[in-house]
Chains A and B, each alone.
Chain A
Amino acid sequence: MLELTAALYRKTGHWAPVARQGGAATADLLGRVLAEQLAGAVAGMDTSRIKRNFVVSTMLDLPFTSGWLNWADIAAATRRYGPELPAFDNLITGYECASWGYCLRYALKELEPGDQIALSVLDINVMNISYWQSNPNWGNSGFGLATIVLTVGRENQVECHMAKSVNAFGEFCLDLRRVSQQQPDVILVPPYFPRDIAAMYTKIVPEAQRTENLVDDWGHCFGADPWVGLIEEVVRGRNWQDTTYFATSVALNGYWTYAKLRLNPKGRFALLHDMAVPTVEEAA
């Protein structure tokens, strides 16, 4: 089974003051926060075990499609700010909020038990685009960066699904019920949604088999929700050391994912202080 070895989350607002300086300044700062947070997550660890290191995002698609941002520039910045860190491999946005699960599916094909995977869930509204602030489909957004390290076990359960109908969210919720019935001892960590939307799963998955919908505290944090949820288990002093979890995420266009995992009792799990919106001077 996968083991969550480290998970850090840092909330931030929009970065429009940086974005006004252009794509190069934004790429530099994104590389810097990615590197700094990964350094915090892996401090004291033998990083040679980290064989893959992906950045995933839901909302940072158009800046790349337009060429305003380039992954190569961000990767170069991560090397400048964290030359000792495992190299950042690539950016994956195509599966939206479920991108982390598709990365795991892909990486697990080439990894051995004991190997590690780092994932950075990067959803910062760098250009302050209003579409991403809030939306009837997911309510208010929570922006930030989740950095996680997973250790590969012997039998790893990662599922990636694709909806068959137009009602992807409904299919996802029914699938949550299926999983909760098949493995009742595993606690589901569902994504955060406004209560009237989350009702589709809160009504059919017993409360004792899922973590709380902390949408009022966090908003919808895209692919970071389950990682925030797992850190919250530790922070709120739940019985996490004796629990097996399913981290889950769903994408609006109909992709969803699960990863079965336990938390390392000696792991590093923390909600970091909010990241101040960078000033223009810092980015220059």
Chain B
Amino acid sequence: MTLAYHSQLRHRPYPDQVISGDFNSLQLETADDFAAYRAMAQSRWAPILVSFSQKYQILDRVLAAIEAHLDDDYDVLLTTLRVPGAMRFPKRYYDDRLFLVADLAMETARQVSRGARVLVMQEGLVRHPMETGQNELVLTLHNADAAATRFAACGQDLAALGFDPMPDLALAD
């Protein structure tokens, strides 16, 4: 059985917070630098609703919600970490059941096939114009057994954080 919560952050979660600019702007010195960043820039941008540190702040609260409701329901928690160079991830990311991979689908398929209970946190919170994503957060629990009530409660916590349920969210690559 697989449970899923599709959602999207549509408003700034920390609207009145005064923050320091924590984006280390990219070094643009050579022709190759300009060519590289031009090649990687996105043609369409989702609204930027969080800073680098705010992204970790809110994802840490997502992990806290998972810890509160689903701690006994998974063996492996797979997620991504995009542009790691900016700052240290929150301590919850260090948990030895959590693993950061580039390709969630491939590792999920592998773990599911060996019968592991796999929780996948796929996030697309964007912070700068070279990042893909639509500010989505998709939580999926594979091989879940009798976890539906707790999974729904976790979803309610995520909605309270600002991740509006979007069951029909279509994700572009």
Contact = CB atoms under 8 A, between A and B. Distances in A.
24 contacts: A16-B35, A19-B39, A61-B85, A62-B83, A65-B132, A66-B40, A66-B131, A72-B105, A89-B106, A90-B103, A90-B107, A91-B103, A93-B84, A95-B84, A96-B84, A127-B32, A127-B36, A128-B33, A129-B27, A129-B32, A130-B32, A131-B33, A162-B91, A253-B89
Q: Which 6 A/B pairs are nearest by Cβ-Cβ distance?
A: A94-B100, A94-B81, A127-B36, A66-B40, A91-B102, A128-B32
Given A23-B39, A61-B83, 5 more contacts: A62-B83, A105-B96, A127-B32, A127-B35, A127-B36
B36 A128 contact: yes
Interface in A142-180: 160, 162-163, 168
A62 B41 CA distance: 10
A110 B96 CA distance: 13
Nearest to A252: B85
Nearest to A14: B32
B1 interface: no
Interface in B91-107: 91, 93-94, 96, 99-103, 105-107
A66 B96 contact: no
B57 interface: no
A131 B132 contact: no
Nearest to B107: A90
A51 to B, nearest CB: 11
Contacts, number: 117
Contacts of A23: 39
A75 interface: yes
Interface of B is mostly: loop
Contacts of A94: 80-81, 84, 89, 93, 100-101
Interface residues of A, number: 44
A94 B42 CA distance: 22
Interface string A45-75: 0000000000000000111111110111001
A64 to B, nearest CB: 5
A20 interface: yes
A151 B103 CA distance: 25
Nearest to A20: B35
A71 B106 contact: yes
A70 B91 CA distance: 28
Given A66-B131, A94-B81, A89 B107 contact: yes
Contact of A93 (B33, B40, B81, B107): B81
| Most chain A beta-carbon contacts within 10 A, residue among B30, B80, B88, B130 | B88
Contacts of A63: 40
Contacts of A102: 99-100
Interface string B60-87: 0000000000000000000011111101
